């Protein structure tokens, strides 16, 4: 279980690093736009990400 969790975390870091590495200007522009969103909008994005992740886990594992 621990090895799987560390592997999942490592994969998340790799995926999160792809866009800033490949297109730093686009990543910066996107992050600036996200910073301008209201807290409720950011929470909705976070909740949506959690739900999509859980659905993927249920269907693929």
* Of 12, 21, 14, residue with least CA distance to 53: 12
Please count the other Cβ atoms lying within 10 Å of the Cβ belonging to residue 30.
13
Which of helix, strand or coil describes residue 23? coil
Q: What is the pLDDT of residues 4-46, one digit of tens each?
A: 999 999 999 999 999 999 999 999 999 999 999 999 999 999 9
Domain span including residue 8: 2-60
DSSP codes, 34-61: HHTS-HHHHHHHHHHHHHHHHHHHHHH-
Residue 61: pLDDT band with limits 50, 70, 90:
confident
Instruction: Flag whether pLDDT at 60 surpasses 90.
Output: no
Instruction: Domain count for the chain, please give it.
Output: 1
- What is the pLDDT at residue 49? 95
């Amino acid at each position: 279980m621990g090895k799987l969790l560390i592997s999942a975390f490592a994969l998340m870091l790799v995926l999160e690093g792809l866009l800033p590495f490949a297109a730093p200007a686009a990543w910066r522009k996107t992050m600036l736009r996200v910073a301008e969103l209201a807290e409720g909008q950011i929470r909705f994005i976070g909740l949506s990400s959690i739900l999509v992740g859980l659905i993927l886990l249920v269907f693929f594992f």
